Chains A and B, each alone.
Chain A
Amino acid sequence: MSAHQYQDQSQNQTPSSVADPDARGVVIIGGGQAGLQAAASLRSEGFTGKVTIVAEEPGLPYQRPPLSKDYLKARLTDGADGTDGSGGTSAAPLPLRGAAFFADHAITLLTGTAATSVDRQAKTVTLADGTVLGYDSLVFATGARNRELPTPGIDLPGIHGLRTLEDAEQLGAALETAQNVVVVGAGFIGLEFATAALARGCQVTVLEFAPRPMGRALTPLLGDWFAGAHRDLGIDLRLNEGIASFEAGDDGRVAFAVSTTGDRYPADLVVAGVGVQPNDQLAAEAGLETANGIVVDANLRTADPDIYAIGDCAAFPCVHAGGPFRLESVQNATDHARHVAGVILGADAPYAELPWFWSTQGPFRLQMANIVRADDETVMVGDPDPAHPKFSVFCFRDGILAAVESVNMPSDHLSARKILAAGLEITREEALSEGFSLRAAYKERTQPAAV
């Protein structure tokens, strides 16, 4: 397939400085959240050289988070525009930027073509269609791909992953007729899909081999709360129970999911949400270090001074996690991108943005400010009644507020982000005192009382 080009650099509407034939500029591999933000930030920070994005997926780059949320919901209501206040709109994907953005900012977007090799000596990238692009700076923003289960029967029709628009389109169509849905993995995407399928009237079973849902990211306190809350909704959440095999029916499609306890669950639709693997092969082939991601320093630079990695594919020194880390979030992708644009333009400060995340699972709107640690002391504050929850989990490290998880408390979340990003110290004693609110605490510390 030949590449579709949204903006041809040779057109004379580009700024004159871009036309300099000697300038190779910045090549960004990957047209996702990170790649697009990097291009946008380069321009907004005043970069006048060439900017080229190489994007393997076809079409205008889109936002992934709605794929497991509004996008599936919109399909549920016959593609009608959501007027239920859920924030849903149409069955069309939400673009990261409109088509005009690329021409307006002299950004060349090559879609439907993958970068297949990088020659670090010649400083060139070769694409699947044979195009060779020279670079001064190269940014890997290649994201991640779904981890594949080694389970027998995994290739049966009716078993899906959920990462791309294509995946979501297939799932949206499958949900039209599905009755018994099995979700493998109680991670964020698995549970978002599970609640969407439940709302569609499906029977939903979730298999999770760990003792808690979302165990990698949540405090045990909140993980346990979610286990109960999802069961109350009507999801059959099976913990400490992994997938063993899939069995086909007479039609050759998946019919049963068999778990590690030997239980057989009827399944006409299966979604495997067991995590992702970074797309770091191309970087590895170019001789760059990879270790669960492309290894970069605090400036998000690889050992090659002209090559960077950002977003889901980057293993970076995370000050908040206290070591090398890889994060999969919109925040991480966009903040990395803004940072790398600065570095390419000459800035030299370590990346230190506060991680945050959100996930909408049916009636539960989860938000997290900072990364929780296993030995954090956790206290639930607010109303945890699963019928109308509205609470936060405060996480204390050495007696100081270090992370906050919130359910249906977006103002707590936003205030916590501001407090933690500013490095303001809130003691356990203050946070648990009568009448305390994160919002008031932030205001108090940042807006001096009127004289």
Chain B
Amino acid sequence: MPTITYHQPGGDTQVIELEKPDRIMQAALKNSVPGIVGECGGQAMCATCHVYVREEYLDALPEIGDDEEEMLEVTASERDERRSRLGCQIEVGGSGPEAIEVDIPEEQV
């Protein structure tokens, strides 16, 4: 089963098992994971779904698209050149990796 592990800034962790492939932002909303806002509903227009992907999962990710690149420049918490991604653009399961772990930033808005 595709799995997303969300690490909160305070140290809490939520492990969400997906019944079907989903994106990191959408899965967080559906499962009440705090710290991911998803204000624009996943349009790569708000950067409130910013996550830091843990090193060991970076290779499995698709390239950063133009829209995503632009939004990553204006995240509320500082961008990490290697690890920062938009949660609404990354699918887990399906065409994406089967498992991923992300750190949730301090601030999204």
Footprint of B on A, CB under 8 Å?
63, 65-66, 69-70, 81, 83, 85, 87-90, 94-101, 104, 330, 334, 358, 360, 365, 367, 409-411, 413-415, 439
Contacts and interface: CB of A to CB of B under 8 A. Distances in A.
A96 B45 CA distance: 18
A89 B22 contact: yes
B55 interface: no
A94 B29 contact: yes
A63 B32 contact: no
A81 B67 contact: no
A83 B94 contact: yes
Contacts of A83: 91, 94-95
B95 A70 contact: no
A415 B70 CA distance: 12
The dominant DSSP class at the B interface is: loop
Interface of B: 20-23, 26, 29-33, 38-47, 62, 65, 67, 70-71, 73-74, 88-89, 91, 94-95
B20 A411 contact: no
Given A87-B88, A100-B31, A410 B26 contact: no
Contact of B23 (A89, A95, A99, A415): A89
A65 B94 CA distance: 25
A66 B43 CA distance: 9
Given A101-B32, A410-B71, A414-B74, A87 B22 contact: no
B73 A360 contact: no
A53 to B, nearest CB: 15
Given A66-B42, A94-B29, 18 more contacts: A69-B43, A70-B43, A81-B20, A81-B22, A83-B95, A85-B89, A87-B23, A87-B43, A89-B26, A95-B29, A95-B30, A97-B32, A98-B31, A360-B43, A367-B45, A410-B67, A414-B46, A415-B74
A411 B22 contact: no
A63 B40 CA distance: 10
Q: Which 6 A-B pairs have the closest CB atoms?
A: A98-B32, A87-B42, A414-B74, A101-B32, A66-B41, A83-B95
B101 to A, nearest CB: 20
Contacts of B62: 85
B71 A81 contact: no
A92 to B, nearest CB: 8
A244 B31 CA distance: 47
A208 to B, nearest CB: 24
B54 to A, nearest CB: 22
Contacts of B74: 410-411, 414-415, 439
A411 B41 contact: no
Contacts of B20: 81, 90
A411 B29 CA distance: 24
